[in-house]
Amino acid sequence: MKIEQRVTMKYHYCYFAFGGLEIEDINGNKIFVEMSDDQVMDLHERVEAKKEYILEKRKEKLEEENAETNS
């Protein structure tokens, strides 16, 4: 049987420790996610894609604001 548990926390800091990723919230609570090298590489690709998406949205918003200002 698979049991799913979802934890919500407000991100403060993370660190790639030996064997995984440690995430700390604003209250000092920590979660350690065991990860293989391949899983770390996969996470990197996903984070990079999200970063590019955010940067593109910000760029579009600035362009819209500049167009409104110049109108």
The pLDDT profile of the chain, 71 residues, written as one tens digit per residue, is 888 989 899 999 999 988 999 999 999 999 999 999 999 999 999 999 999 999 999 999 999 999 988 87
CA-to-CA separations, 20 to 25, 42, 50, 60, in angstroms, rounded: 17, 13, 21, 35
Instruction: Assess contact for 21 and 6: CB atoms under 8 A.
Output: no
Q: What is the pLDDT of residue 11?
A: 96
In a domain, 56, yes or no: yes
pTM equals 0.77
Q: What is the pLDDT of residue 14?
A: 96
Q: Which domain holds residue 26?
A: 11-69
In a domain, 3, yes or no: no
Query: What's the total number of domains in the chain?
Result: 1
CA-to-CA separations, 29 to 6, 18, 34, 58, 70, in angstroms, rounded: 15, 19, 17, 31, 48
